[in-house]
Chains A and B, each alone.
Chain A
């Protein structure tokens, strides 16, 4: 993936950051669904270039964020699950010490001038826009989604990166 970004003219450092962020999203698809796939195993990864805009899609048909966290945070709904996943140092794979990936994604997002990020699971989604949300609290980024997603669907759009 990093090679693809470099071929598209994206700088070395930026390509590394994007690859790491996408890598963490794809890691989660496998780390939290091993032995728990609902039907189709694996992770969908797609990139699309349109002029000076790059969009990356990552999706899986795993158990979703709420089910993944339900053993460490029983009774949470989809909205709370996404907030916890991005804001708190907690993992569904306790007692292992994990839970850094999505916090890292947020840190990387804050490093870009013009980026949009959407993350769907269940009937909730988190939407971040660097133009509007740089100072926003995570809980204000999470809301009821217009669609229900089995598993997780994320997309990242980076504008004017060349």
Chain B
């Protein structure tokens, strides 16, 4: 399934907001059972930070594991720079 990340907002900055978004996604969007891949589509997000993303991904990964998550970056520079920074620090 694909999660349109702009549904959590187009400006995604703070850690508390990232954690809250992940908890909402786990509660309402992501199937509780099965191993269907989850695509996170950031194409329509305007502003993204490592803090928001880190918190969102850590919360999600703790529940469903890293292997099920695929990320679609799109062309927004702040999304691309966030993903680049997280890859460098992984």
Which residues does A use to contact B, with CB under 8 Å?
2, 12-14, 16-17, 19-20, 23-24, 27, 30-31, 89, 97-101, 103-104, 107-108, 111
Residues in B neighbouring A20, C-beta threshold 8 A: 13, 47-49, 78, 81-82
Question: Are A104 and B50 neighbours in the complex by a CB distance under 8 Å?
Answer: yes
A104 touches B77 (CB 8 A): no
- Cβ of A17: which chain B residues have Cβ within 8 Å of it? 77-78, 81
B46 within 8 A of A: yes
Cβ-closest chain A residue relative to B76: A16
Assembly CA distance A30 to B15 (angstroms): 10
Query: Given contacts A23-B14, A23-B49, A104-B85, are A13 and B77 in contact (CB under 8 A)?
Result: yes
Is B54 positioned at the interface, with any CB of A under 8 Å from its CB?
Answer: yes
- A16 close to B15 (CB less than 8 A): no
With A and B bound together, what is the CA distance between A130 and B50 in angstroms?
22
Q: Assuming the A-B contacts A20-B82, A27-B15, are A14 and B77 also in contact, with contact meaning beta carbons closer than 8 angstroms in the complex?
A: yes
On whether the beta carbons of A16 and B50 are closer than 8 Å, the reply is no
Contacting residue for B85 out of A14, A23, A107, CB 8 A: A107
B49 near A16: Cβ-Cβ < 8 Å: no
Kindly state whether residue B24 has any CB partner on chain A within 8 Å.
no
Partner of B49, one of A12, A13, A30, A104: A104
State how many angstroms separate the Cβ of B73 from the closest Cβ of chain A.
13
A27 and B46 contact, CB distance less than 8 A = no
A101 to B49, CA, bound (A): 8
Contact at A23–B15, with CB atoms within 8 Å? no
**Which of B58, B76, B82 contacts A104 (CB under 8 A)?**
B82
Decide if A100 touches B77 in the complex (CB within 8 Å): no
Q: Which of A14, A24, A31 contacts B50 (CB 8 A)?
A: A24
Residue contact A16 to B54, C-beta cutoff 8 Å: no
Give the CA-CA distance A30 to B82 in the complex, in Å. Answer: 20
Given contacts A2-B11, A19-B11, contact A103 B49 (CB under 8 A): no
**Given A100-B50, A101-B50, A104-B50: A111 in contact with B81 (beta carbons within 8 A):** yes
